[in-house]
């Protein structure tokens, strides 16, 4: 009787962790891309900053 709800709760938790991990990976890749853009185009960002 108690095994089925427990399994459902555990499944829900694992799905929640999976979505958090994928979101964290997406942020990590976007951050590395943003860093690459900043360091490869410093003149572009300096001209925007000076305006």
User: Residue 30: what pLDDT?
Assistant: 74
Q: What is the pLDDT along the chain (51 residues), one digit of tens a residue?
A: 444 555 555 555 555 556 666 777 777 777 776 766 656 655 555 555 555
Global pTM value: 0.27
Q: Provide the pLDDT for residue 41.
A: 58
pLDDT value of position 27: 75
Residue 26 three-state SS = helix
Quote the pLDDT of residue 28.
Answer: 74
Total count of domains within the chain: 1
Domain range enclosing 20: 3-50
Q: What is the pLDDT of residue 37?
A: 61
Q: How far apart are CA 48 and CA 50, in angstroms?
A: 6
């Amino acid at each position: 009787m108690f095994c089925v709800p427990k399994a459902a709760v555990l499944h829900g938790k694992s799905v929640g962790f999976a979505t958090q991990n994928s979101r964290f990976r997406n942020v990590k890749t976007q951050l590395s891309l943003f860093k690459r853009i900043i360091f490869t185009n410093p003149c572009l960002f300096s001209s925007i900053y000076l305006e």
